[in-house]
């Protein structure tokens, strides 16, 4: 491939694509890649990157976020390769970096050091130039001789050269690339401002008696370059903090792992070379690279970032471990069950990448006006300069410079996505995943929450609610015998019964399980094998007893004489259900339950949760119809569900949550995903959404006020170039710093 970077050709191996791409199931041969973009500075840069990528044959589409500096590229392997569109980006002055790649991290670190050096040089030269400029400002007429004034100007000119040639290099490079592509970004007006200021001041230095000799502006030049670099440096650091949750998640996977070979020895291989069925050894302190089962050893696993569970979990032989979780205490041998895109880790990363690339409507509007706005800036600067030229050409050019520098659309472009990305990062660190940034705006406006029952308000488990006994029997004796049988089964009801009688002294022998019917066997107390009791535990037909009426889940116990006991079970509420729903109601929100279960069962769970409005026996169509009727009345509804039958109503709600290990369809329809299954995350997210929109409104108000005040001041000549540089840097910094307040670590949704 002519002109393709040889280093990038290594990524053309299809084996490497899984590290940053996934093949779309609906269209085989079409891939979707997620990369970070280096070299972007504003919304117009994001549009330029999109244009460059879309111009590559075989690239079907590209989406670039100005806030997160990430891109999603859809391409066909029959027409192009990753090296080709990455090389196209390099030619345009940008670089595609693989998220989590160590070489990419090293390049970012090197670029960060260069940016720091540029900033330091600009700062040092600015201080020296200000020292030489001060006498001209404070001296009275005649205090400084023309020769001394000329010497001070020449010294300032010399000190401005490093600022022009080194510190300002990125502005000129990007502006030149834009001009070659006949495009425009914020670097073009900045570069023009720097060049005009230096040219005017140089003319005044070389010809003190010429048209531009009245005053030089080296102090303004060095100051606004310094302030612009300060703004970009701080913005970069702050953006890394606000949008760093995705990097923190992606970097949890190790680059390599110890895999057991056929001869029993362990060899270190790249993680992407793993296959299902492999045996790997994960050392203490390492992350699990794939989903699997522990075969040997016992340890503690940290799954906080993946499931919201804040406490380390014990993992021994037979226990499942998930990719991305950390092995905390001891080496373990793990059999790989799922790798790559099939792991829960990959699914979570995909959700977060989708959110990082999502553009809220307000951000899309800002992106659309970025280029026309910059064109208007150039025209306004030219008009202002032309207006002032007859009076004072030097002053006219500096007015034009002030207009070029001060009218930066970056604050407007960052106002919305910076706040939403900060919130998405905070939620991700607390166990809540954001699929669409736009959902923050919708969630902040909801006035009612609708919850599914089974799997949402309740866990996938049952609890014993009542025991009814034959005359002459005691609860402890009957429960102990039933638990001895139930311990031999993995059925959810059997586990609940075994848990209720976990201190039983009874033992069971010759236990047989009839699937879907029940258990039979003989039980006895320790040391008394002669007193055997033949029992049946299960359905009324299996136990040959008369069924009781009611909608409770009932399990029967019978002996040779017939009915012995009836155990009533109810669904187990999630631990934080009642507290969360009460908090939502206390906030003035309407809370309802829609369930496919029987009306009585739904009402019972709703009563336990403290909800008065409940409707049972709902089909998926019934749920959707109820939701649409509420929306027609003007309600803005948030839906919380987990199952396959929740897909339509999750898609139809203003905003939706998929809770627990929701099926893929439910996750695809939801705006927020709570993989840990803690309902407290719903309340936490709603509160943060309201805070997020307050910050967004503050940012938009500031951006509007800044432009409304500063642009007229610059046009009339009341805003010097150095002050314009401060205003431009401060506007973007204020927006990002304000958004950073949302990135503070939230309590873990799974915390206790």
Beta bridge partners of 535: 521
Binned at pLDDT 50, 70 and 90, residue 751 comes out as very low
With contact defined as beta carbons under 8 Å apart, do 452 and 604 qualify?
A: no
Q: Where in the chain is the domain with CATH 3.40.1110.10?
A: 459-573
- Predicted confidence (pLDDT) at residue 261 exceeds the cutoff of 60: yes
Return the closest-CA partner of residue 458 out of 561, 560, 544, 569: 569
The angle subtended at Cα 689 by Cα 687 and Cα 693, nearest 5°, is 125
Name the residue with higher pLDDT: 343 or 155: 155
Q: What's the pLDDT score for residue 537?
A: 93
Q: Residue 424: is its pLDDT beyond 90?
A: no
| pTM score, whole prediction | 0.60
pLDDT recorded at residue 38: 79
All CATH 2.70.150.10 domain ranges of the chain, comma separated, are 254-286+291-338
Question: Residue 325 is encoded by which pair of tokens?
Answer: 């979780």
Angstrom distances, CA of residue 619 to CA of 139, 458, 502, 605, 670: 86, 19, 38, 18, 19
The second-level CATH assignment, the architecture, of 6-98 is 2-Layer Sandwich (3.30)
Could you say which architecture CATH assigns to the domain 254-286+291-338? Distorted Sandwich (2.70)
Phi–psi pair at 518, nearest 5 degrees? 160, -165
Report the alpha-carbon distance of residue 200 to residue 395 in Å, rounded: 9
Instruction: Evaluate whether 389 touches 395 at the Cβ level (below 8 Å).
Output: no
pLDDT digits (tens, 9 = 90+) for 498-537: 888 776 778 888 888 887 688 999 988 876 666 788 999 9
Q: Please write down the long-range contacts of 596-599, taking CB distance under 8 Å and 24 or more positions apart.
A: 596/453, 596/454, 596/620, 596/645, 597/453, 597/454, 598/551
For residue 750, pLDDT over 50 is answered with: no
- pLDDT for the residue 686: 94
What pLDDT, on the 0 to 100 scale, is given for residue 366? 55
pLDDT digits (tens, 9 = 90+) for 657-707: 888 665 454 456 678 888 777 888 899 999 999 999 999 888 888 878 887
Q: What is the pLDDT of residue 752?
A: 38
- Annotation marks residue 452 as catalytic: yes
Tell me the pLDDT of the chain averaged across its residues.
79
Residue 528 has a pLDDT of 67
Tell me which of 358, 367, 452, 642 is the catalytic residue.
452
pLDDT in tens, 32-60: 888 888 777 666 677 788 888 988 999 99
Tokens (6 digits) for 428: 């991700």
Helices (H) and strands (E) in the chain, counts: 26, 27
pLDDT in tens, 572-626: 788 888 888 999 999 999 998 888 777 887 888 888 888 888 888 777 778 888 8
Average pLDDT over residues 403-424: 73
User: What is the pLDDT, as a whole number, of residue 368?
Assistant: 61
Token couple for 495: 């586990």
pLDDT tens, 366-381? 556 666 777 777 788 8
Residues 6+ apart with CB under 8 A from 107: 38, 95, 97
Q: Tell me the average pLDDT across 111-128.
A: 88
Q: CB–CB of 678/574 below 8 Å? A: yes
Q: What is the pLDDT of residue 624?
A: 81
Instruction: Say what the pLDDT of residue 2 is.
Output: 46
Per-residue pLDDT band for 556 (boundaries 50, 70, 90) equals: very high
Q: Where in the chain is the domain with CATH 3.30.70.100?
A: 6-98
What is the average pLDDT across 493-497?
83
Reduced to 3 states (helix: H, G, I; strand: E, B; else coil), residue 535 is strand
- Measured in Å, how far apart are the chain's first and last C-alpha atoms? 57
Per-residue model confidence as pLDDT tens digits over 279-292: 999 888 888 888 89
* CATH fold group of domain 459-573: Calcium-transporting ATPase, cytoplasmic domain N (3.40.1110)
Please state, in angstroms and rounded to a whole number, the distance separating the CA atoms of residues 348 and 361: 24
67 or 184, which is more confident:
184
Which of 28-37, 45-54, 400-409, 443-452 is the most confident on average? Answer: 443-452
Bridge partners for 260 per DSSP: 266
Q: What is the pLDDT of residue 687?
A: 92
At 24-34, the pLDDT tens digits run: 877 888 888 88
Round to whole Å and give the CA distance between 439 and 437: 5
CB atoms within 10 A of CB 139: 12
28: alpha, beta or left? (left if phi > 0; alpha if psi -120 to 50): beta
């Amino acid at each position: 491939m002519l002109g393709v970077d040889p280093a990038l050709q290594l990524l053309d191996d299809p084996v490497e694509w899984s590290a940053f791409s996934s093949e779309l199931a609906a269209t085989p041969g079409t891939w979707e890649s997620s990369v970070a973009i280096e070299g972007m500075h504003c919304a117009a840069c994001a549009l330029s990157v999109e244009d460059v990528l879309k111009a590559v044959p075989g690239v079907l589409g590209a989406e670039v976020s100005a806030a997160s500096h990430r891109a999603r590229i859809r391409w066909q392997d029959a027409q192009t390769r990753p090296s080709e569109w990455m090389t196209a980006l390099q030619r345009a002055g940008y670089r595609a970096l693989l998220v989590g790649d160590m070489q990419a991290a090293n390049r970012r670190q090197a670029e960060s050091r260069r940016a720091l050096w540029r900033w330091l040089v600009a700062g040092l030269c600015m201080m020296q130039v200000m020292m030489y400029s001060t006498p001209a400002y404070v001296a009275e007429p005649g205090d400084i001789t023309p020769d001394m004034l000329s010497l001070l100007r020449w010294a300032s000119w010399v000190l401005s050269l490093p600022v022009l040639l080194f510190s300002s290099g990125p502005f000129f490079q990007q502006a030149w690339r834009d001009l070659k592509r006949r495009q425009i970004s914020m670097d073009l007006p900045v570069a023009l401002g720097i060049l005009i200021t230096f040219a005017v001041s140089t003319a005044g230095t070389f010809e003190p008696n010429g048209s531009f000799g009245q005053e030089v502006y080296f102090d303004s030049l060095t100051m606004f370059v310094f302030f612009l670099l300060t703004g970009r440096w701080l913005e970069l650091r702050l953006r890394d903090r606000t949008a760093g949750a995705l990097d923190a998640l992606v970097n949890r996977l190790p680059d390599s792992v110890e895999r057991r070979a056929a001869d029993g020895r362990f060899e270190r291989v790249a993680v992407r070379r793993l296959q299902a069925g492999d045996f790997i050894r994960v050392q203490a302190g390492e992350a699990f690279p794939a989903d699997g089962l522990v075969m040997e050893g016992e340890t503690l696993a940290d799954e906080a970032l993946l499931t919201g569970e804040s406490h380390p979990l014990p993992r021994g032989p037979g226990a499942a471990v998930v990719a991305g979780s950390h092995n905390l205490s001891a080496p373990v041998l793990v059999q790989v069950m799922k790798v790559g895109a099939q792991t829960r880790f990959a699914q979570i990363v995909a959700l977060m990448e989708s959110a990082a690339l999502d553009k809220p409507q307000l951000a899309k509007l800002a992106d659309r006006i970025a280029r026309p706005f910059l064109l208007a800036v150039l025209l306004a600067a030219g008009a202002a300069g032309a207006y002032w030229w007859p009076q004072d050409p030097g002053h006219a050019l500096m007015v034009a410079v002030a207009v070029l520098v001060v009218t930066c659309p970056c604050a407007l472009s960052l106002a919305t996505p910076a706040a939403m990305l900060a919130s998405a990062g905070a939620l991700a660190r607390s166990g809540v995943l954001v699929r669409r940034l736009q959902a923050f705006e919708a969630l902040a406006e909801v006035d009612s929450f609708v919850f599914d029952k089974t799997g949402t308000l309740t866990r996938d488990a049952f609890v014993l609610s009542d025991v009814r006994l034959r005359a002459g029997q005691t609860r402890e004796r009957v429960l102990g015998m039933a638990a001895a049988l139930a311990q031999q089964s993995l059925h959810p009801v059997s586990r609940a019964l075994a848990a209720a009688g976990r201190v039983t002294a009874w033992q069971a022998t010759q236990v047989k399980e009839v699937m879907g019917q029940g258990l039979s066997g003989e039980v006895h107390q320790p040391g008394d094998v002669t007193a055997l009791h033949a029992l049946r535990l299960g359905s009324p037909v299996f136990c040959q007893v008369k069924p009781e009426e009611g909608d409770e889940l009932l399990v029967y116990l019978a002996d040779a004489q017939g009915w012995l006991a009836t155990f009533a079970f109810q669904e187990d509420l999630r631990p934080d259900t009642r507290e969360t729903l009460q908090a939502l109601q206390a906030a003035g929100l309407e809370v309802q339950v829609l369930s496919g279960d029987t009306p009585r069962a739904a009402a019972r769970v709703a009563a336990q949760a403290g909800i008065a409005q409940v409707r049972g026996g709902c089909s998926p169509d019934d749920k959707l119809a109820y939701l649409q009727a509420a929306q027609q009345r003007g309600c803005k509804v948030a839906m919380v569900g987990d199952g396959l039958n929740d897909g339509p109503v999750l898609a139809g709600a203003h905003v939706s949550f998929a809770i627990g290990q929701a099926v893929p369809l439910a996750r695809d329809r939801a705006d927020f995903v709570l993989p840990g299954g803690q309902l407290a995350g719903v309340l936490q997210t709603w509160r943060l959404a309201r805070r997020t929109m307050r910050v967004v409104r503050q940012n938009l108000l500031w951006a509007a006020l800044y432009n409304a005040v500063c642009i007229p001041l610059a046009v009339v000549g009341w805003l010097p170039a150095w002050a314009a540089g401060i205003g431009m840097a401060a506007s973007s910094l204020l927006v990002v710093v304000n958004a950073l307040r949302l990135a503070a670590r939230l309590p873990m949704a799974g915390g206790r």
